[in-house]
Amino acid sequence: MSMTIHCDIVSAEAEIFSGRAKLVVANGIQGDLGVTYGHAPLLTSLEPGPVRVVMDGGEEQIYYVSGGFLEVQPNVVSILADTALRADDLDEAAALEAQKEAQQAMLNQSGEVDYGRAAAQLAAATAQLRTLQQIRKTMGK
């Protein structure tokens, strides 16, 4: 019998992934977190960024989450995010533009800018770009 866990990745809109995995890696608030068969129960917040799911045959799938929560129960890992996308659905040009706009907004000294919102937009765009870079690295592109 293979040492796998059931993984669910769910956004506010839809279930993005549900299946068996050998390894799930996500960006927790204290750094990257890897979950395999037999992991202790856990609940943690997630930072925006990539989630890697390594399937039983070694195939890797990468997803983007905007943050959220990761919960580990016996033989099940659940990721609940406001936004979750298949990495193939990310738009690099849109992420670069959003990053540029957020950086410009943060540099705007007029006082009309919601600095917190601009910082959150910058973090999300940067995380999307990091996810795309990880895909290229993984796929050798």
Domain coordinates of the chain in residue numbers? 5-86, 90-139
Are 5-86 and 90-139 in the same CATH fold? no
Q: What CATH code would you report for 5-86? A: 2.60.15.10
On the question of pLDDT at 47 being above 60, the answer is: yes
What topology is assigned to 90-139 in CATH?
A: 1.20.5
On the question of pLDDT at 100 being above 80, the answer is: no
Strand partners, 85: 64
Q: Is 10 within 8 Å of 80 (Cβ atoms)? A: yes
Which ranges constitute the DSSP H helices of the chain?
92-107, 115-139
C-alpha torsion 8→11→15→18, nearest 10: -20
Q: Report the chain's mean pLDDT, rounded to a whole number.
A: 83
Top pLDDT among 104 and 45 is at 45
pLDDT at 141: 46
Model pTM score: 0.70
Identify the H or E element spanning 64.
strand 60-65
Mean pLDDT of 89-103: 69
Top pLDDT among 4 and 119 is at 4
pLDDT at 86: 80
Confidence of residue 77 (pLDDT cuts 50, 70, 90): very high
Confidence of residue 8 (pLDDT cuts 50, 70, 90): very high
